[in-house]
């Protein structure tokens, strides 16, 4: 943990107004040196924005020790990004897929380094995938399974990176932070789908007060995977509540991971 004290934090976000609010709050609550925090624009729903961010980052920042990929757009009205993808799939998966691949050289220069993919328990609600139709689904704005599928894809890509980066001293982890509330979005859809929420809204409201985590507790597993020294060389593990957990059998399928990787490379133009 001492290795990361005084670390430089880069907050990459689409909404700079909310980013400034988060940065100001971080400065007040932690007392961190303001020179160690930088806010940069990066819209995961625009592949061009991701590329622009990476170019600027590589030009102006010397190091990248820990990359945390966290987006939790859980539902929306049927929207396509300007790149032609389902907005949930691009925000939660394809945007981070491109970001990670473009930053790999920087991570290799700073090894030992880490990649953290923040997924969700909901990934295990996907029991099968029609791979002959998956590329079409990427571009389907009405795909109701987009959120859990995006979180499944994050874990599959983690297993693929695990094999590719085994000799590179870059540790890759995926995790679920659980269900927690934030001032930005009301509640995280990490343990309940938008469909279930719409059906059981009053009941869920009651359960929320019993089972919901605070943001401070919700982030524990993220921080653990980012800085826990005993996890070095523990490639590809999936965590829940700061302990190793078992993802769905589908999320652990190496053949599926390879197929998804090839399709994703084509989708983002790599």
What residues are annotated to the active site?
147
User: What H or E segment, with its residue span, contains residue 58?
Assistant: helix 47-60
How many C-beta neighbours within 10 Å does residue 84 have?
A: 11
Contact 189, 196 (CB under 8 A): no
Say if CB 201 and CB 35 are below 8 A apart.
no
Determine the Cα–Cα distance for residues 223 and 214; give it in Å rounded to an integer: 15
Antiparallel, parallel or unpaired: β 113-118 and 238-240? unpaired
Dist CA 68 CA 222 (whole Å): 8
Structure tokens at 79: 């929207």
Q: Where are the alpha helices (DSSP H) in 165-245?
A: 194-199, 201-211, 215-218, 220-227
Query: Running DSSP on this structure, what letter comes out for residue 91?
Result: I
**DSSP assignment, residue 142?**
T
Q: Distance (Å, rounded) from C-alpha 40 to C-alpha 48? A: 14
Query: Structure tokens of 233?
Result: 């060389």
* Helices 95-109, 254-268: crossing angle, 10 deg rounding: 100
Q: 220: which 2 tokens?
A: 């524990």
SS3 80: strand
């Amino acid at each position: 943990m001492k290795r990361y004290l005084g670390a430089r934090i880069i907050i990459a976000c689409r909404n700079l107004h909310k980013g400034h609010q988060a940065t100001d709050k971080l400065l007040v609550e932690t007392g961190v040196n303001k020179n160690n925090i930088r806010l940069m624009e990066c819209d995961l729903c625009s592949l061009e924005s991701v590329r622009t961010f990476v170019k600027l980052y590589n030009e102006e920042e010397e190091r990248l020790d820990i990359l945390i990929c966290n987006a939790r757009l859980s539902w929306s009205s049927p929207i396509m990004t300007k790149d032609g993808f389902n907005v949930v799939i691009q925000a939660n998966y394809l945007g981070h897929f491109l970001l990670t691949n473009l930053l790999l050289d920087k991570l290799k220069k700073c090894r030992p380094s880490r990649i953290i993919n923040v997924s969700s328990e909901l990934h295990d609600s996907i029991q099968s995938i029609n791979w002959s139709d998956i590329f079409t689904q990427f571009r389907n704005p009405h795909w109701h399974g987009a959120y859990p599928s995006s979180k499944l894809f994050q874990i599959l890509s983690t297993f693929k990176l695990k094999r590719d980066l085994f000799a590179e001293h870059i540790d890759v982890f995926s995790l679920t932070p659980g269900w927690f509330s934030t001032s930005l979005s009301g509640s995280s859809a990490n343990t309940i789908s938008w469909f279930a929420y719409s059906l059981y809204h009053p009941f869920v409201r009651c359960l929320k007060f019993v089972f919901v985590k605070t943001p401070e507790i919700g982030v524990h597993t993220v921080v653990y995977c980012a800085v826990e020294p005993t996890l070095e060389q523990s490639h590809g593990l999936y965590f829940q509540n700061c302990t190793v957990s078992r993802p769905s059998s589908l999320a652990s399928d190496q053949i599926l991971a390879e197929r998804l990787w090839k399709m994703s490379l084509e989708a983002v133009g790599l």
